[in-house]
A and B are shown apart, each in its own frame.
Chain A
Amino acid sequence: MYGNWGKFLRVNLSTGEVKVEEYEEELAKKWLGSRGLAIYFLLKEMDPKVDPLGPENKLILTPGPLSGTSAPTGGRYNVVTKSPATGFITMANSGGYFGAELKFAGWDGIIVEGKAEKPVYIYIKDEHVEIRDASHLWGKVVSETEEAIRKEIGSKKVRIALIGPAGENLVKFAAIMNDGHRAAGRAGVGAVMGSKNLKAIAVEGSKRVPIADKQKFMLTVREKINKLKNDPVAGGGLPNYGTAVLVNIINENGLYPTRNFQTGVFEHAYEQSGEAMAKKYLIRNQPCYACPIGCGRVNKLPTVGVTEGPEYESTWAFGANLGINDLASIIEANHQCDEFGLDTISTGGTLATAMELYEKGYLTDEELGDAPPFRWGNTEVLHYYIEKIAYRKDFGDKLAEGGYRLAESYGHPEYSMSVKKLELPAYDPRGAEGHGLGYATNNRGGCHIKNYMISPEILGYPYKMDPHDISDDKVKMLIIFQDLSALIDAAGLCLFTTFGLGADDYRDMLNAALGWDFTTEDYLKIGERIWNAERLFNLKAGLVPERDDTLPKRFLEEPMPEGPNKGHVVRLKEMLPRYYKLRGWTEDGRIPKEKAEELGIAEFL
């Protein structure tokens, strides 16, 4: 087998048993790897109805066949598990170097089962696997934990994926961090790790990923790298300004969510844009493994010193979404989240919900006591409550449940801007309706990255589509984006490569590395299979399409109050039935037997 090793490491923390799970190439031909193989294992081995924070939930960390190779951006890994935030599947994706290192150690992934009696960490050096005591590390923030483990192992080369206090305290939106500031962020994967008493996974590897046709692979990789370097986004906008180059674009287009999505235009956008950040705080770029793009930001502040980030989403989450106009505070808040191991989108989204509840008078000063009031623009909220959330202290305990549960506890879930209880990212769907359909149908809930319709609707990639067109063409494009994103995740690459590469480019690299002669359609079929399998998991976990495939009422009923999208809502009801139909699903959003058979997943029905 090439690309993949054909081996997963299975660690049961309840029994301490460590096993090697081998699989045949036929399985890779069906699921490719990473996000694909992970959903296969979960459907095969686990009841989707399990308690996400119980020992029976499985946590899978898995790089793809191109991770650890020279393919551009081949350093990604996915964390796939049942989410405690949504109760559905989640596949959080991260860059950095950990994913590649796991491949160097000879593993396509780790399946973590059960729950350790006391805090532990897993140390992997090629075939050597140890479960070590982590009692002394419990309670430590991310940077301190990394440093302590590195010292203990006595190697600078070791790569570590870990949780901070937020994961230990089962915050519903805790992240798994790696390489300092990279995060498998979304939907509470860090809480699942914490529920298993697993503080960290440290890996060192010495192998080279086997490639089928080395010469062909080298040539095709070189060609793709050139494409990316010559692309004005991947080779220009992203390295120059980072992902926050989007702040002004999204704001000028009138869909930059402001004050918990009450409007789509923020008056101080420029001051917190990638342009402003580059001018004021940027000291250098920080690329992930094998990345020719290098969008990561290394910023320096007098308060926190040298730190990484924030990305576009985090900039917004602590800025416009809270009405905050202070870039330094935003960068500090991002740094705090990285140290505690918190997802920035959900942290900001939850605080925004609290602010609107406060504005509307449901959350009062009386309840908060001496704690900072949730007033729009109050930077004190960031520093004070982020720490409270991570340790579940005082009001932080309520916030740690996420925005939906918070708003629901006041009898007003409509103030949570979330889908399937996952807080939405930085695009108001009233300004990009196809993106709105993406939110509503995304397998992990309120997420942008698995169906980034902002590309065609706003940025013009692969070509420009009208953000208010809701024809079948739009729905079909969304389906292609969902399937292609699943494929790229399964390959172990970064979704930002789509700014310079097309579906045929992924085919070229995969065929050369794996020794297959698949067509582009074959690969997209794998993406479609993954998407459907995840949907199937969700349906079995209790997803009710008519209740769950939807958007917050605000986007369906309250027209955008100002700006270029003034008067628009999302016409979800007009799009959703056509989405189901074009997916080959039943009218009520279920997967029929014929479709499952066509995709080879009928055994899981």
Chain B
Amino acid sequence: MLRVHFKVVYVLVKLFATLIEFTGKRKLEISGPKTVRELLDELERTFPGFKKELEKGHIILVNGKNIEHLQGLDTPLKDDDTVSIFPPAGGG
């Protein structure tokens, strides 16, 4: 029997604040993206205008770590990673 193994990356995406209203979702699973950039492209395809929502600023975390201190949009994603995406926010 021939078995073909495809290496598919499944990423858990968590959305917050206005992004919940924009997409109608708090959590979703996305397969395929190898970097944060590819993930955002995929989200843009699913929810046209998604990237525009992040234009004024955003916080993107991969497993709780801000991508600014990883490799930015080129931060690689692996199976079971959690990506949290926030629009700009503050308080205190």
List residues of A whose CB falls within 8 A of some B CB: 232-234, 236-238, 240-246, 248-249, 252-254, 270, 273-275, 295, 311-313, 448-449, 452, 454-455, 458-461, 464, 466, 495-496, 499, 563-565
Contacts and interface: CB of A to CB of B under 8 A. Distances in A.
Q: 3 closest pairs, A vs B, by CB? A: A564-B64, A243-B91, A232-B88
B59 A249 contact: yes
B19 to A, nearest CB: 10
A511 B56 CA distance: 30
A564 B65 contact: yes
Contacts of A461: 90
Given A233-B90, A237-B91, A245-B91, 13 more contacts: A232-B56, A236-B18, A236-B88, A237-B17, A241-B17, A245-B90, A246-B89, A273-B16, A275-B17, A295-B91, A311-B91, A452-B92, A564-B65
Chain B: interface size category: 20 to 34
B40 to A, nearest CB: 17
A564 B17 contact: no
Given A236-B87, A249-B86, A459 B17 contact: no
Nearest to B84: A252
Nearest to A564: B64
11 contacts: A232-B57, A232-B88, A237-B17, A238-B90, A243-B91, A243-B92, A246-B91, A253-B66, A275-B16, A460-B68, A496-B91
A464 B86 CA distance: 15
B14 interface: yes
B77 interface: no
B51 interface: no
Contact of A459 (B16, B26, B90): B90
Contacts of A466: 69
A270 B91 contact: no
Which residue of B14, B17, B63 has the most chain A CB atoms within 10 A of its CB atom? Answer: B17
B20 interface: yes
A461 B90 CA distance: 9
B13 interface: no
A268 B20 CA distance: 17
A542 to B, nearest CB: 30
Interface SS of chain B:
loop
B89 A459 contact: yes
Interface of B: 14, 16-18, 20, 26, 56-57, 59, 61, 63-66, 68-69, 84, 86-92
A270 B26 CA distance: 10
Contact of A252 (B18, B26, B57, B61): B61
A237 B20 contact: no
Contacts of A449: 92
B6 to A, nearest CB: 30
Given A252-B14, A270-B26, A246 B92 contact: yes
Which residue of A253, A313, A461 has the most chain B CB atoms within 10 A of its CB atom? Answer: A253
Contacts of A448: 92
A519 B62 CA distance: 42
Contacts of A244: 91
Contacts of A232: 56-57, 87-88
A397 to B, nearest CB: 32
A558 B65 CA distance: 21
B16 A240 contact: no
Contact of B90 (A253, A270, A496, A564): A496
A312 B89 CA distance: 12
A241 B88 CA distance: 12
B92 A237 contact: no
A233 B88 contact: yes
A216 to B, nearest CB: 29
B61 A233 contact: no
Given A237-B17, A466-B69, A253 B87 contact: no
Contacts of B88: 232-233, 236-237, 459-460
A270 B87 CA distance: 16
A253 B18 contact: no
Contacts of B26: 270
Given A249-B16, A252-B84, A459-B59, A464 B68 contact: yes
Given A448-B92, A452-B92, A460 B17 contact: no
A572 to B, nearest CB: 21
A461 B92 CA distance: 13
Contact of B92 (A273, A275, A454, A464): A454
Given A237-B87, A464-B68, A245 B56 contact: no
